[in-house]
Structure 1
Amino acid sequence: MMKIRLDGSTYDEEFAFVICYPYPTEEEYLRRIRSLIEKGIEEIVLEGTSNIGKYRVLGKGFRGVVVKARSKFGMVAVKLRRVDSPRDDLLNEARFLRIANAIGVGPLVYAYDRDFIIMELVEGSRLPDWILAEKDQELIRKVIIELLEQAVRLDLIGLDHGELSRPIRHVLITKDGRPYILDFESASLERRPRNLTGIIQYLLIRESEVSKRLNEIFEIHDKKSLIEAIRQYKRTPSLRTFKAILKRIGVEGVN
């Protein structure tokens, strides 16, 4: 594991590929480093499952790079905007995540500017991997119900995540069994929210090893009535229609 303490006065040509991936310049590198220092980042911890040159990072996507860092907030994750990203900044993503935070969804946002978001470090397993590997069926039930409740909370405030019908990279389950919805870069307050219907289609309706296991755990035998309950919720999203879905999967008494 490598650690690099941030220095806003010196250009590090190799490390610049992490901070300004994939086309670094000295000017942009120093500007970002100074802004990170100003927001409380002290050191970048270079570990993870993705590579940029000789360095390891937590994640690398089409629009950003995620690194682990030590900061005045403790250990955090920092999402850095790729310099070739089609998005001009990360401001909307940070604002949407803050809105989600207000209802108990997503990693906490500590600080942000146009090119990065400093947030709670969430370490865990991707949703499908966790479902297929976890042996405690009661824990699986608990986590899935909590995840569905988070999706409903997003629906009811009008915030559509935009990617929960394909949640493979967008939901992590921590070692202590807490689900986190990540990556609000495609989120919107303008379109009709489809968070619950998207994720429940993936988890319980669409044919896959994941849905097969969950159908067994929740003992779902009447999928037609579940699909009808989902349609009712889609027409009229509310706690009442959500509870009707839960009833179809054998869950009672959820507030």
Structure 2
Amino acid sequence: MNDINKIAAKNNGKITIQDLSGFTMLGKGADGSVFQLTPVKCVKVFVNEETQKRELNALQIGQSSSVIPRLYEYGSNYIVMELVNGGNLKAYLKKEKQLPKPIVLKILFMLEELKRIGFTRLDTEVRHIFFNELEEIKVIDHKRAFTTNRSVPTKLFTGLKKLGYLEEFLSHVKEINPSLYREWKKIEIK
């Protein structure tokens, strides 16, 4: 961790991807790159500082929830947070070839948690839902937590449909929460 502090200190509080060349890159997207720092921490370096501010705000507000990664420190263009050791829902479904009820219960819990902590985007993509080695659920990429209003998880539905698991998911929801099932069944999924 001191390495990150030293790098940021000599770069006016910023970190570049080149500064992290000695660390393992875990992923790269349009918003930035994620590197593993320790067995329990990672750093996301953002392309745009405004995106960093939005994601940081969501992480700060979400610290009371077990589904949001722990926040450790941050700078103007980076965030150091909990490394979720495990795979995402998309990888899980491809490997396991099923969507069991206990996983659906965890997804429903995650959606309720996003609502409880005040996010206006109660949705996420299947690739942003992770399960750690204890099968605890974590959700990442919260830059739109307060800039998008979505009370129905349409991105989740779309991802599950593409993978062939939407009907299985909804059948579990019907059993777990019939009123929620009736509400969601009315939605047209593309």
- Kindly indicate whether the alpha-carbon contact (under 8 Å) linking 1:65 and 1:79 is maintained by their aligned counterparts in 2: yes
Question: Structure 1 residue 58: deviation in Å?
Answer: 0.4
Q: Partner residue of 2:85?
A: 123
Q: Partner residue of 1:170?
A: 128
Instruction: Give the Cα separation in 1 of the matches to 2:122 and 2:182.
Output: 23
- Kindly indicate whether the alpha-carbon contact (under 8 Å) linking 2:31 and 2:51 is maintained by their aligned counterparts in 1: no
Q: Partner residue of 1:148?
A: 108
Q: Partner residue of 1:66?
A: 34
Question: Structure 1 residue 209: deviation in Å?
Answer: 1.5
Instruction: Give the Cα separation in 2 of the matches to 1:191 and 1:7.
Output: 33
CA-to-partner distance for each residue in 1:207-242, whole Å, 9 max, x for gaps?
6422255467x3969xx986533379x9xxxxxxxx
Q: Unaligned stretches of 5+ in structure 1?
A: 10-27, 37-42, 48-56, 235-255
Question: Structure 1 residue 145: deviation in Å?
Answer: 0.9
Which secondary structure does the structure 2 equivalent of 1:90 belong to? Answer: helix
- Kindly indicate whether the alpha-carbon contact (under 8 Å) linking 1:45 and 1:67 is maintained by their aligned counterparts in 2: no
Structure 1 residue 111 and structure 2 residue 111: aligned? no
Question: Structure 1 residue 185: deviation in Å?
Answer: 1.6
- What is the RMSD of the two structures over their aligned residues, measured on CA atoms? 3.9
Question: Structure 1 residue 171: deviation in Å?
Answer: 1.1
CA-to-partner distance for each residue in 1:124-174, whole Å, 9 max, x for gaps?
21212202423786xx3222212211212222443134751xx13311122
CA 29–91 in structure 1, closer or farther in 2 if over 3 Å, else same: same
Q: Compare CA radii of gyration and give the structure with the larger one.
A: 1
CA 35–128 in structure 1, closer or farther in 2 if over 3 Å, else same: closer
CA-to-partner distance for each residue in 1:13-50, whole Å, 9 max, x for gaps?
xxxxxxxxxxxxxxx99416x667xxxxxx87633xxx
Q: Partner residue of 1:183?
A: 141
Larger relative contact order (Cα-Cα within 8 Å, sequence gap ≥ 6): 2
Q: Which of 192, 204, 208 in structure 1 is aligned with 2:149?
A: 192
Instruction: Give the Cα separation in 2 of the matches to 1:156 and 1:231.
Output: 23
Structure 1 residue 211 and structure 2 residue 166: aligned? yes
State the TM-score, normalizing by the size of structure 2.
0.72
Q: Partner residue of 2:23?
A: 46
Instruction: Give the Cα separation in 1 of the matches to 2:46 and 2:156.
Output: 30
- Kindly indicate whether the alpha-carbon contact (under 8 Å) linking 1:173 and 1:180 is maintained by their aligned counterparts in 2: yes
- Kindly indicate whether the alpha-carbon contact (under 8 Å) linking 1:44 and 1:69 is maintained by their aligned counterparts in 2: no
Question: Structure 1 residue 184: deviation in Å?
Answer: 0.8
Q: Partner residue of 2:11?
A: 31
CA-to-partner distance for each residue in 1:74-98, whole Å, 9 max, x for gaps?
730100112xx3x435122112112
- Kindly indicate whether the alpha-carbon contact (under 8 Å) linking 2:111 and 2:122 is maintained by their aligned counterparts in 1: no
Percent same amino acid at aligned positions?
A: 20
Instruction: Give the Cα separation in 2 of the matches to 1:31 and 1:149.
Output: 41
CA 89–212 in structure 1, closer or farther in 2 if over 3 Å, else same: closer
If each structure's helix is expressed as a fraction of its own residues, which one has the higher value? 2
Q: Partner residue of 2:42?
A: 77
- Kindly indicate whether the alpha-carbon contact (under 8 Å) linking 1:66 and 1:78 is maintained by their aligned counterparts in 2: yes
Instruction: Give the Cα separation in 2 of the matches to 1:174 and 1:152.
Output: 19
Question: 1:46 is aligned with what amino acid?
Answer: F
- Kindly indicate whether the alpha-carbon contact (under 8 Å) linking 2:66 and 2:138 is maintained by their aligned counterparts in 1: no
Question: 2:149 is aligned with what amino acid?
Answer: R
State the TM-score, normalizing by the size of structure 1.
0.56
Question: 1:108 is aligned with what amino acid?
Answer: R
